[in-house]
């Protein structure tokens, strides 16, 4: 176990508290860099989606996790970024320009959403952001001169500095990884700057933040704009990855998936956003696995435990029928959300912290360290 003695403020806000971080993150980054040579093309494609989802997750974390402004409308910001890219591409605008333009436009719209959100708290804000997302969805479907309506838009292959970057090439993966890493480093720096401190102060107590001289309105709008802009950047990559976008891709379902990303990862840490993104992207391969291989495996287990071939075959067909049920994905989503909220509100990262602490304190670990306190609500109406 390593003890960290912080002797001045600089120690407290270091990006890497001790040298061990360089080793572990260095190894992780090296693994990610050589991943294209190790993994199959299918897994690479999933890894690109992990990068995009994690970028959105970090963006949402800035807003929901650190500023305390819940948003169920981030699919709309992603859509605005994607559509800006697809539209500007038609006029042969180079990638860096429309990439930045998408971020800027989305950030601007984010700020515009932030202004009405100033007067809203809690549930009202959630409903306002849902309404915003539904309106954007409808606009995308109806504004045919720009968005091509429900028929959707083709997105041309990305070309960066004269080199074409196909959507399944390692270069495209490196681009997504770079955006994710830059976003994470940028966010870490943001969070230790006065702006980030103000965000956290607003989350913990708006009144206290205001009395410490934080301009609550300004920082809330800032938080919305930054979060939306990062989501816009992710939207450009999303459009290129899919190579075709249409309004029905950016539904409330997607917004909820983003919320699940940060909920499952843990709403207090950037690690959580990445873990949550891995989780949500890997559900599909897992379901495929469940459908294709699981029945055989279970039948095999049944056979080894003395069941006859006929019974084993019977079990196999039953498991296969269960795995190919229509709404299984939705049911798994639902159960996972409920279980995480009930039993692991700190998310996967919280679980990791607990495991780490267990080994650090080995014989002395107490389960009650993370025990939740009993809470009674007072009305928020009289705030």
Partner 1 sequence: MLDFVQQLVSGVALGCVYGLIALGFVLVYKATEVVNFAQGDLMMLGGFFAFTFIGMMGLNYWIGFAGAVAAMALFGMLAERVVVRPILGYPQFSIIMATIGLGYFLRSIAGMIWGTDDLKIETPFSQGVLRIGSLVLAYDKLSVIAATMILCTLLYLFFNKTTLGTAMRASSENMLAAYYMGIPVKRVVSIVWAISAAVATCAGVLLAPITFIHSNVGLVLGLKAFPAAVLGGFGSIPGAVVGGVLIGVIESMAGFYLAEGWKDVAPYIVLLTVLLLKPEGLFGLHVRKKV
| Contacting residues toward partner 1, per CB under 8 A | 64, 70, 116, 119-120, 122-124, 126-128, 130-132, 134-135, 138-139, 141-142, 252, 256, 259, 263, 325-331, 333-338, 341-342, 345, 374-383
Residue number, 139 or 184, with CB nearest to partner 1: 139
- Residue 226 backbone phi and psi in degrees, to 5: -65, -45
Rounded Cα–Cα distance for residues 61 and 124 (Å): 19
Structure tokens at 75: 């699919």
Residue number, 8 or 380, with CB nearest to partner 1: 380
Residue number, 333 or 352, with CB nearest to partner 1: 333
299, 316 Cβ separation under 8 angstroms: yes
Judge residue 5's burial from the number of C-beta atoms within 10 Å of its C-beta, 0-12 exposed, 13-18 middle, 19 or more buried: exposed
Nearest residue to 81 (alpha-carbon basis) of 228, 251, 184: 228
Q: Helices 294-304 and 270-292: crossing angle, nearest 10°?
A: 70
Question: Where on the phi/psi map is residue 243: left (φ > 0), alpha (ψ -120 to 50), or beta?
Answer: left
Residues 91, 95, 101, 104, Cα dihedral to 10°: 160
Residue 337 Cβ vs partner 1, minimum distance, rounded to whole Å? 3
Residue 166 Cβ vs partner 1, minimum distance, rounded to whole Å? 35
Residue 133 Cβ vs partner 1, minimum distance, rounded to whole Å? 9
Residue 198 Cβ vs partner 1, minimum distance, rounded to whole Å? 20
Rounded Cα–Cα distance for residues 251 and 246 (Å): 10
Nearest residue to 74 (alpha-carbon basis) of 96, 48, 106: 106
337, 254 Cβ separation under 8 angstroms: no
Please give the full DSSP string across 30-90, using - where no structure is assigned: HHHHHHHHHS-HHHHHHHHHHHHHHHHHHHHIIIIIIS----S-HHHHHHHHHHHHHHHHT
CA atoms within 13 A on the CB side of 100: 4
Residue number, 220 or 241, with CB nearest to partner 1: 220
**What sign does the CA torsion over 178, 182, 185, 188 have?**
negative
């Amino acid at each position: 176990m390593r003890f960290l003695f912080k002797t001045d403020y600089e120690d407290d806000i270091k990006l890497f508290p001790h040298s061990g971080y360089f080793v572990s993150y260095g190894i992780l980054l090296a693994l990610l860099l050589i991943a294209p040579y190790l993994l199959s093309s299918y897994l690479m494609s999933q890894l690109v989606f992990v990068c995009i989802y994690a970028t959105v997750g970090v963006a949402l974390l800035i807003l929901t996790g650190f500023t305390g402004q819940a948003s169920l409308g981030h699919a709309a910001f992603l859509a605005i970024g994607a559509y800006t890219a697809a539209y500007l591409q038609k006029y042969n605008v180079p990638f860096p320009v429309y990439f930045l333009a998408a971020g800027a436009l989305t950030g601007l719209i984010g700020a515009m959403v932030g202004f009405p959100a100033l007067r809203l708290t809690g549930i009202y804000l959630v409903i306002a952001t849902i309404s915003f997302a539904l309106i954007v969805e409808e606009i995308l479907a109806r504004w045919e001169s720009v968005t091509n309506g429900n028929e959707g838009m083709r997105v041309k292959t990305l070309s960066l500095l004269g080199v074409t970057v196909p959507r399944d090439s390692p270069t495209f993966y490196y681009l997504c990884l770079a955006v994710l890493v830059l976003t994470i480093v940028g966010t870490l720096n943001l969070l230790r700057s006065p702006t980030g401190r103000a965000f956290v102060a607003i989350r913990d107590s708006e009144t206290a933040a205001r009395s410490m001289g934080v301009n609550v309105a300004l920082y809330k709008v800032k938080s919305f704009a930054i979060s939306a802009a990062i989501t816009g950047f992710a939207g450009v990559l999303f459009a290129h990855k899919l190579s075709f976008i249409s309004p029905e891709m950016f539904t409330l379902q997607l917004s909820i998936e983003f919320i699940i990303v940060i909920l499952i990862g843990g709403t207090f840490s950037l690690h959580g956003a990445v873990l949550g993104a891995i989780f949500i992207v890997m559900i599909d391969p897992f379901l495929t696995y469940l459908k294709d291989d699981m029945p055989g495996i279970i039948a095999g287990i049944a056979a080894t435990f003395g069941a006859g071939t006929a019974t084993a075959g019977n079990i196999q067909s039953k498991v296969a029928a269960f795995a190919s049920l229509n709404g299984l994905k939705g049911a798994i989503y639902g159960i996972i959300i409920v279980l995480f909220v009930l039993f692991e509100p700190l998310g996967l990262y919280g679980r990791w912290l607990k495991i780490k602490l267990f080994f650090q304190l080995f014989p002395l670990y107490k389960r009650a360290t993370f025990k939740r306190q009993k809470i009674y609500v007072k009305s928020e109406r009289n705030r």
